[in-house]
Amino acid sequence: MAGRVLRDEELAFVSGQLAALTAREAPLGSGLRAMAADAPSGPLREALSRLADDVQRGVLLSKAVQAQPVAFPELLAAAVEAGEASNSLPDVLSMLSRNSRMVANLRARAWQAAIYPASILVLSTGFALFALKFFLPSLVQVPKELGVELPGFLVSLDWLGAHLGGLLTVSGLVGVATALAVFATRTQPPLQATWERLVLWTPLVGRFVRSAVQARFCRMLGLLLKAGVPVSRALRLAARSGASKMLERAEESLGGQAERGCSLSLALAPVSLCSGTLWWMVEMAEKRGDLPDALLDMADHYEQESEHAAGLMNALLPAVFVVALLPVLWLVVGLVLLPLISLMASIGSG
């Protein structure tokens, strides 16, 4: 499991199973071994087996989780520790499992929204390239032999078909360079934050991402505060769990301000990812003294927002891609009809 980040699906599995075990006060050692047998991946099975060994030797569950920082994220360790301290371990782990499952489902919805139109785009582009390379030359050959002057548009397409191999090579190199640039943005924190800002400005997609990140941040922060984790540590862990580089970059600032006694609303004010509504509701909750519960309520609200945005993406993205494919469809129609129209016009004038 070295160097491998626990996926949201796996975190949901681990925390959910642990919640069930601790709620029924079942023997943890044998329960963990049963969990290991059902784990969705080999590395996770090994980590759970080591966890079972430690627990059967009498080590506290929180200490056993903390002893494997590479296998289990700090968020899980903090949740287990806080749950043990507050005597509410099943509830804390159950909420963590729900949050992780929600994030995994939202990510799956986003991929589902993108895969169908992307598949149409790839297939249509492939068909157009095939027509340029193999279909168009046969169609324009007859007008050329008859000495018919082809329209400029058709001449350009004929040239593209003749030089398609070289153009595809250049396009491939450009694609590789673009992929490397995107990879660089995913590995360099400053570039990651810039990329995230661009995504947030994208219509519909930005709304989905912002709502999903705020839902995860609010739920994790509310969960940790409700379990008794100190505010500064809870803020740092929630910022890291938000799947947002903008939040991660603000992690030290958020934790530091909390340690200096600043209110949560003041700490969140400079974070551009957090909406004005979130800031205002946090301020009101601090005045009422029900911040953890208010954060969990806000998490429910932002989950519904992200679900709604995901539904809109599922409905609108295919239509957007169909509109984007209209030029390709016109190209295919032109490949078929223009040579015939030119030939008939030449015969008619002759």
Residue 2: its pLDDT value, please? 38
List, for residues 15-48, the tens digit of each pLDDT value: 888 888 888 777 888 888 888 888 877 788 888 8
What residue type is assigned to position 158 of the chain?
D
> Is residue 2 domain-resident?
no
Residue 9: its pLDDT value, please? 83
Same domain for 226 and 320? yes
> Is residue 3 domain-resident?
no
Q: Are 146 and 349 in contact (CB under 8 A)?
A: no
> Is residue 107 domain-resident?
no
Residue 344: its pLDDT value, please? 61
* Predicted TM-score (pTM) above 0.85: no
Residue 123: its pLDDT value, please? 76
Same domain for 164 and 296? yes
Same domain for 202 and 318? yes
Helix axes 89-130, 205-226, angle to 10 degrees: 160
The CATH number of whichever domain residue 205 belongs to comes to 1.20.81.30
Same domain for 160 and 184? yes
The secondary structure of residue 40, as a DSSP letter, is S
> Is residue 147 domain-resident?
yes
Distance of CA 54 to the CA centre of its chain: 34
Same domain for 49 and 161? no
Q: Tell me which of 99, 123, 156 is where a domain ends.
A: 99
Q: How many CB atoms lie within 10 A of CB 263?
A: 16
* CA triple 264-82-92, angle to 5 deg: 90
C-alpha dist (Å) from residue 227 to 10, 161, 268: 22, 66, 21
Q: What residue ranges of the chain have pLDDT lower than 70? A: 1-5, 113, 116-117, 136, 138-140, 142-154, 157, 182-193, 195-196, 241-255, 317-318, 320-322, 324-350
Distance of CA 346 to the CA centre of its chain: 56
> Is residue 273 domain-resident?
yes
Same domain for 175 and 283? yes
The label of the residue with tokens 């642990």 reads 18
Residue 263: its pLDDT value, please? 77
Q: Number of structural domains, the chain? A: 2
List, for residues 219-261, the tens digit of each pLDDT value: 888 888 887 778 878 877 777 765 666 666 666 666 677 777 7
Same domain for 58 and 146? no
Domain that holds residue 169: 112-350
